[in-house]
């Protein structure tokens, strides 16, 4: 409580403590603003989804797209996930927000299907820790698929390595439910956490996504190159496909192609784009 904090600050008569109390107060205020803002954003429809293409390295075809959330805050422009996802996660608002993303993406995919557009395009949606740990996440996903007429195989769910490895037994159960439905599953930001290989083997996964921190210097840093090669080999020996994120240059792509990486995603191919720009990109890329 700010008043108490200020009172005690006065009591203590120390400037640094007063400063500290003020800091706490304004940070709490910021958080409150964002939390209220996020609630309002959902009600007022301020969220938009951008799509970033994913390319099959061998054929050069766009085989998928990752759905990435943006917040268009009136008067302030676009807010990126790094500035609101952590608060959404902390407050639990990520659950309704994530639900909105999933529904929105499934509706979009269904529209494309009905128009006969991009039939082979699978859309990847990020699942947050809170969402993944929800009691009835598989049922929630299944319900959205049913209500939107989106087929499970059109959808891929990305879960980060740290989330599945936090409690692997529970994660295995959830992953099996989702996989049985026919939804594709991938591990996001692979290499940044600690994976138990015995669990990795038991999870019904389709793909590993190599974190972009390993890709950035892959052509100049021998350690990063070794890690990327090892992840590709690991994925293939587990019969998983492997996709590299953060592919920004032709050199990155050449390296990854030489190492038999299956797919790539990154600025070199295309940035995350609003839906109309993405549709244009897809028509041009054929
Ligand atoms: P992520 O799932 O690992 O997504 C990839 C991030 O890398 C995206 O950042 C994307 O714009 C960025 N990126 C793609 N290619 C390149 C590249 O070549 N170079 C560089 N430097 N960056 C690249 P973004 O869109 O800011 O999203 C950040 C994170 O926020 C995502 O990381 C994901 O963890 C989270 N996020 C985004 N949308 C959602 C969502 O709908 N739900 C949840 N739970 N999390 C989301
Ligand atoms: Mg992702
Ligand atoms: Mg990622
Ligand atoms: Mg990442």
Question: What percent of the chain is helix, strand and coil (3-state, nearest 5)?
Answer: 55, 20, 25
* The residue to which tokens 């990063």 are assigned: 224
Atom of ligand 1 nearest to the CA of 69: 38
Sorted by sequence, the CB contacts under 8 Å of residue 156 that are 6+ apart come out as 64, 122, 123, 124, 125, 183, 184, 185, 186, 206, 207
The ligand 1 site (C-beta within 6 Å) comprises 52, 68-69, 80-82, 85, 94, 98, 101, 126, 128, 158, 188-189, 212, 245-248, 265-267, 272
Strand partners, 70: 48
Q: Enumerate residues with CB within 5 Å of ligand 4 (an ion).
A: 189, 211
Cα–chain-centroid distance for residue 241?
A: 18
Q: How far is the CA of 91 from the centre of ligand 1 (A)?
A: 20
Closest CA to 56 of 228, 219, 257, 280: 257
Q: How far is the CA of 174 from the centre of ligand 2 (A)?
A: 18
Q: What is the largest CA-CA distance in the chain?
A: 71
Return the sign of the alpha-carbon dihedral for residues 90, 96, 100, 102.
positive
Predicted confidence (pLDDT) at residue 240 exceeds the cutoff of 60: yes
Q: What is the pLDDT of residues 21-80, one digit of tens each?
A: 566 667 777 877 789 999 999 999 999 999 999 999 999 999 999 999 999 998 888 999
Closest CA to 10 of 19, 28, 29, 25: 19
Q: How far is the CA of 106 from the centre of ligand 1 (A)?
A: 19
Q: Whose CA is nearest to atom 15 of ligand 1?
A: 266
Q: What is the pLDDT of residues 74-99, one digit of tens each?
A: 888 899 999 999 999 999 999 999 99
Q: How many Å apart are CA 215 and CA 219, to the nearest integer? A: 8
Model pLDDT, residue 23: 62
Model pLDDT, residue 135: 87
Sorted by sequence, the CB contacts under 8 Å of residue 23 that are 6+ apart come out as none
- Specify the pTM: 0.91
Q: Whose CA is nearest to atom 45 of ligand 1?
A: 126
- Ligand 1 pocket mutation, candidates 79, 81, 157, 189, criterion most atoms within 8 A of CB: 81
ipTM of this predicted complex?
A: 0.98
Residue 77, SS3 per DSSP:
strand
Atom of ligand 1 nearest to the CA of 80: 26
Tell which wins on pLDDT, 31 or 216. 216
Q: How far is the CA of 68 from the centre of ligand 1 (A)?
A: 6
- Summary mean pLDDT of the chain: 91
Model pLDDT, residue 207: 98
State percent of the chain over pLDDT 90.
82
Instruction: Give me the torsion for CA of 263, 265, 269, 273, rounded to 10°.
Output: 140
């Amino acid at each position: 409580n700010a008043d108490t904090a200020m009172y005690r600050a006065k009591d203590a008569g120390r400037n640094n403590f007063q400063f500290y109390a003020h800091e706490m107060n304004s940070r709490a205020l910021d958080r409150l603003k964002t939390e209220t803002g996020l609630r309002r954003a959902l009600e007022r429809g301020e969220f938009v989804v951008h799509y970033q293409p994913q390319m099959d390295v061998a054929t050069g075809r766009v085989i998928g797209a990752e759905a990435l959330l943006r917040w268009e805050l009136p008067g302030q422009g676009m807010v990126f996930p790094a500035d609101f996802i952590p608060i959404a996660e902390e407050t639990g608002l990520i659950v309704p927000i994530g639900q909105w993303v999933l529904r929105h993406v499934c509706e979009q995919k269904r529209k494309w299907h009905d128009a006969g557009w991009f039939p082979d395009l699978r859309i990847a949606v990020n699942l947050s820790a809170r969402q993944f740990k929800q009691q009835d996440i598989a049922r929630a996903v299944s319900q959205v698929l049913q209500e939107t007429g989106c087929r499970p195989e059109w959808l891929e769910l990305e879960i980060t390595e740290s989330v599945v490895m936090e409690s692997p037994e529970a994660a295995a159960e959830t992953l099996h439910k989702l996989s049985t439905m026919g939804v594709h599953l991938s591990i996001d930001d692979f290499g940044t956490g600690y994976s138990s290989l015995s669990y990795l083997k038991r999870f019904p996964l389709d793909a590993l996504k190599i974190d972009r921190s390993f890709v950035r210097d892959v052509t100049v840093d021998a350690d990063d190159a070794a890690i990327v090669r090892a992840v590709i080999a690991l994925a293939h020996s587990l019969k998983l496909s492997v996709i590299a994120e953060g592919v920004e240059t032709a050199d990155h792509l050449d390296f990854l192609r030489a190492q038999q990486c299956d797919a790539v995603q990154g600025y070199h191919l295309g940035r995350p784009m609003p839906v109309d720009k993405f549709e244009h990109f897809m028509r041009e890329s054929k």
